[in-house]
Structure 1
Amino acid sequence: MTLDDAVLTRHTVKAFEAGQTLPQEKIDTLLNVLRNSPSSVNSQPWHFVVASTPEGREAMAKATGGAFVYNEPKVLNASHVIALCMRSDLDDAHLQKVLEQEQKDGRFVAEGAKAGQDKGRRSYVDMHRFELRDIPQWMEKQVYLALGGLLLGAAMLNIDATPMEGFDARALDHALGLREKGLTSVVLVSLGVRSENDFNAALPKSRLPRDEIFTFI
């Protein structure tokens, strides 16, 4: 499948075929996509909870009651559901952990590179904390970068996917024990095999015309 094929054929699945399990090697590829997602100053302010068992999907489905009950089958009938979460803050412990991993992975070759990286990253964190005062929004943007890569990766692997903001984040955080870990949920993605009841599969893709969304200078 080419990249053009993937972006033209992918769609948000509205119904999954229950009992269909995706190959683990494809899931591992998508997890690799998530782990290697880009983030501003390599801040990596995320955590991903993967539900691959009925018990795990049922835990996540607790957040799809009430106004979001229409999403419950998309969680329960999927093969895997991933909760993309963000940290409650970019604290010193996390920044130090990222820095030490960069050193372990051999990113600091030149003298002073480690100190320079640490100083530069912290300057961005401080700017968003004290001047822009938008640390949560900044971290959330990084999670959505990961979401885009995940959806494109799924399309390239011919995996049906559904991104969902329609869930009770407080209920999901409680069900998964996220807040005790300094995390909060941002978006859910169900992965699986679409069923014949997926009405969206037969509908044409609709986007604004090319000349309305691009300006060439």
Structure 2
Amino acid sequence: MTLLETLTHRHTTKAYDKTRKIPADIFAQLQEALRYSPSSVNSQPWHFFVADNDEGKARIAKATSGPFAFNAPRVMDASHVIVLSSRTSLPPAYLQDITEQEQKDGRFADEATKISITKGRNGFVGLHEQMGDVATWAQKQTYIAQGFLLLSAALLGVDATPMEGFDAAILDKELGLKEKGLAPAVIVSLGYHSDADFNAKLPKSRLPEKSLFTHL
């Protein structure tokens, strides 16, 4: 499929075929899509929790109780479920880990470049610390990763359901997020839709180009 065909074919899956599993080689590519997602100053302020069995999915599904019960089958029947969480702070030790990884990956031509890039990143994080919005900033970066995951899934023929309909407090407690310096951002289920997925049969509906774009 072309990119446009992929974009118009992609939809938010409402019901999954629980008998179908994503092949390991395909899911490995989806994990790489998350890992290689861009982030401001390469901060990578995220962590991803993956469930590919009933026990793991049941832990996540605890957060789809009460008013969010409609999402429970989309968690339990999917092949894989990912909780995308964002960091609530970016401490010096974490930033140093990023710099060391960049060093290993050959990102620095020389020591001066390393110092300059590290200083720039630390300075930008410091600005957000002064503004008191590091957690919000990190969550915005995590949503970029979600976008990469959804498009990559569509390109690989995998269906997906992004969900904000969950009890964050329950998920926080179940996964021990707060003590890890994390906050839940969004849940994404992945797999293959079933015949009960009414959304797969509906045409796309988006506002017209003229109401969305202003060419300067």
TM-score norm. by structure 1 comes to: 0.97
Q: Which residue of 2 aligns with 1:200?
A: 199
Q: Which residue of 1 aligns with 2:156?
A: 157
Cα distance in 2 for partners of 1:19, 1:180 equals: 36
Q: Which residue of 1 aligns with 2:99?
A: 99
Q: Which residue of 1 aligns with 2:166?
A: 167
- The question of 1:63 aligning with 2:72 is answered no
Question: Residues 116-149 of structure 1: CA distance to partner in whole angstroms, max 9, x if unpaired?
Answer: 111100111111110x321111000100000000
Cα distance in 2 for partners of 1:67, 1:15 equals: 18
Report the 3-state secondary structure (helix = DSSP H, G, I; strand = E; otherwise coil) of the residue aligned with 1:112.
Answer: helix
How many residue pairs were aligned? 216
Letter of the 2:211 counterpart: E
**Displacement after TM superposition at 1:173 (Å):** 1.6
Q: Which residue of 2 aligns with 1:76?
A: 76
Deviates more, 1:90-99 or 1:176-185: 176-185
- Structure 1 regions of 5+ residues with no counterpart? none
Aligned CA RMSD, in angstroms, stands at 0.9
Letter of the 1:123 counterpart: G
**Displacement after TM superposition at 1:65 (Å):** 0.2
**Displacement after TM superposition at 1:180 (Å):** 2.3
TM-score norm. by structure 2 comes to: 0.97
- The percentage of counterpart residues that share the same residue type is 53
Q: Which residue of 1 aligns with 2:126?
A: 126
Q: Which runs of 4+ in 1 moved over 6 A?
A: none
- Structure 2 regions of 5+ residues with no counterpart? none
**Displacement after TM superposition at 1:154 (Å):** 0.4
Letter of the 2:152 counterpart: G
Question: Residues 176-211 of structure 1: CA distance to partner in whole angstroms, max 9, x if unpaired?
Answer: 222222212110000011111111111111111011
**Displacement after TM superposition at 1:55 (Å):** 0.5
Q: Which residue of 2 aligns with 1:140?
A: 139
Report the 3-state secondary structure (helix = DSSP H, G, I; strand = E; otherwise coil) of the residue aligned with 2:82.
Answer: strand
Letter of the 2:19 counterpart: G
Cα distance in 1 for partners of 2:182, 2:211 equals: 39
